[in-house]
Structure 1
């Protein structure tokens, strides 16, 4: 699961500056009425700096909006389960042709502290106040979230939209949630993004050693889409 992540302005300045300087960022800002800051807490429908292939198939930086739109819901579709990415109509074409990477500092997850979760009955668990955790790969300054993208028409403009791929979680994340983003190592980025890359093969090399700690800015109101 990934419903919110953090983009630290200094460590991600290379990506954020490049994306914000493109004319596309102004087009998206004016069309979607979104800030082009692309730093701080990034939530669904925000503009963000994303890595995707350029016309030559090489890694490049682009501004995109987080969340596909779909007629079945009024909320943005922000996550794609990897188990159905190659079969569901919403994702299949992007899975094979339009993969991207979202640079983040860390992502957030809400859950009951592992030491306390065992004290609650399953029926009580969903009713208690969750705590906010910051999660990132061990020893990494940048968290590379694997994603998919597509173009959608909004007010007559083709706007690039992205979604984050999720997988079954691993420890210590699994102690508070059963899902987590698919996180790639830096060496896998080019192959993942290239249209001819094998996403199933690359996904098997995803990072699994995570560091999790309580977010220092908790409590903070949960977004309405959660």
Structure 2
């Protein structure tokens, strides 16, 4: 799963995206009604409001502030990830899978090592910062919806690569930058883009801090 990622406002490639979101009138509306700021730097957590790439009304690539999380059956904002393998058939995600796909730009994502102790319990270990090998920006695939007049999103996950299995049993679905426009295009087939998902990643253990 993925419930934490990082933004670096000064990073080339992210700076322009973040500045567009900062100028959006929707950001002001979010602040006025949700009393939550747009997160532009540092660690991003569920329910935060962040820049997201999605098509505008004319189908062109645009940047929008969106809140992380769909409202669940508990009537709370409690759904933050969706399995890509079942998104096309799950009632919560199937419409978004077909026509409301988005990209969440990040520097990297965080994951905590999960392991089973001698007593059989699953415990949390070291924290890792993970990103595609050779990349400075991580393009996370997501789905979005409009809830109560505001855009919200979830991050899609997949089976982990061999080198990540020791950390967690899921990882985000990530695409190369040149596939962004195809992914967010409502008329494209998301199934045809899955083979382009990035699997060569670098995981760096974070030693000095624990969030």
When the two structures are superposed, what TM-score results if normalisation uses the length of structure 2?
0.94
Shift of 1:60: 0.7
CA distances 1:133-175 after superposition (whole Å, capped 9, x unpaired):
000000001000000000000xxxx110000000000032111
Which residue of structure 2 aligns with residue 142 of structure 1? 137
Secondary structure of the 1:34 match is coil
Judge conservation of contact 2:47–2:77 (CA < 8 Å) in 1: no
Which residue of structure 2 aligns with residue 99 of structure 1? 101
CA distance in 2, matches of 1:15, 1:217: 29
Which residue of structure 1 aligns with residue 53 of structure 2? 51
CA distance in 1, matches of 2:75, 2:160: 26
CA distance in 1, matches of 2:29, 2:208: 32
CA RMSD of aligned residues (A): 1.6
Judge conservation of contact 1:20–1:37 (CA < 8 Å) in 2: no
Judge conservation of contact 1:171–1:210 (CA < 8 Å) in 2: no
Shift of 1:121: 3.7
Which residue of structure 2 aligns with residue 6 of structure 1? 6
CA distance in 1, matches of 2:197, 2:210: 30
CA distance in 2, matches of 1:45, 1:9: 19
Which residue of structure 2 aligns with residue 130 of structure 1? 125
CA distance in 2, matches of 1:17, 1:121: 49
In structure 2, relative to structure 1, the CA distance for the partners of 1:217 and 1:2 (3 Å cut) is: farther
Which runs of structure 2 are paired with 1:1-226 in the superposition (5 Å)? 1-11=1-11, 12-72=14-74, 74-111=76-113, 120-121=117-118, 123-124=120-121, 126-127=122-123, 129-153=124-148, 158-220=149-211
CA distance in 2, matches of 1:110, 1:16: 27
Structure 1 runs of 4+ with >3 Å offset: 72-75
In structure 2, relative to structure 1, the CA distance for the partners of 1:45 and 1:190 (3 Å cut) is: same
The total of aligned residue pairs comes to: 209
Judge conservation of contact 2:69–2:153 (CA < 8 Å) in 1: yes
Secondary structure of the 2:93 match is helix
Structure 1: state its 5+ residue gaps: 221-226
CA distance in 2, matches of 1:191, 1:64: 20
